[in-house]
Amino acid sequence: MTPSKRTARIIAALDVEKRIDAISLVADLRGKVSLFKVGSRLFTAEGPGMISEISDAGGSVFLDLKFHDIPATVAGSVRAACGLHVFLMTIHTAGGYDMMKAAADEAAAFADRSGLPRPKLVGVTVLTSMSEEDLAEASGYGGSVEDLVLKRAELAKKSGLDGIVASVKEAGRIREALGDGFIIVTPGIRPAGSAAGDQKRIATPRDAIEAGSDYLVIGRPIYQAESPGAAADAILAEMGESGK
């Protein structure tokens, strides 16, 4: 399959603080988007009950808490997230091989024990809000963002993760190096005419699909729109496929 023929789907980021706002976004997007990101903002404010509410409303949850800790702690967090029945979750690749392997083993053990599908694990590589200069300042790393993202993606695959989170700028190289079955999740998506905000490595929905992305995480361009439903429709049209 060539990258441009892949079917990509939107994950709407529910980056709001109130349960009522999250649920109203899920309702506004009914029939257009069925995957929703619960990140640290909503999870910290409203707790795990949010996840069952979204499921009850017919959505599937991408739990983006970017676990990054010692292997035993991350394994415990993954076990807890599996119990919440999310379909996708993030850990941070900067935690290294042992941490990612412990997380992947834990998700597999959950599936064996429960007979339920194994939630997919994706590794955050380098935040899309970081430029090369930001990365050098924060870590002392002097190479390119793209090289580091690829290195971390390779390690994620070796550790048993299902995929990674990266910007569209790196997606093409990752797809080429790691093959079709590896999940690529791309945030930093900005439809034509929308504001970048704090994101630095941004691209359009069409670029994301052409680069081989499987899931486009879209926050502000949808939840800050006057009509989130209309904004989602416009993005789906730009994607040229159902995307639901």
Q: Which one is catalytic: 32, 37, 66, 157?
A: 66
- The tokens for 21 are 């706002």
Interface residues with ligand C5P (CB under 6 A)? 13, 15, 37, 39, 64, 124, 127-128, 165, 187-188, 197, 199, 217-221
d(CA 235, CA 206): 9
Least distance from ligand C5P to the Cβ atom of residue 194, Å? 9
Least distance from ligand C5P to the Cβ atom of residue 116, Å? 25
* Cβ proximity to ligand C5P, 77 vs 128, nearer residue: 128
Find the residue with minimal CB distance to ligand C5P: 219
* Cβ proximity to ligand C5P, 75 vs 217, nearer residue: 217
Least distance from ligand C5P to the Cβ atom of residue 94, Å? 11
* Cβ proximity to ligand C5P, 157 vs 220, nearer residue: 220
Do the bridges between strand 120-124 and strand 163-165 make them parallel or antiparallel, or are there none, so unpaired? parallel
* Cβ proximity to ligand C5P, 110 vs 234, nearer residue: 234
66 is catalytic: yes
Least distance from ligand C5P to the Cβ atom of residue 214, Å? 14
Residues labelled as active-site residues: 66
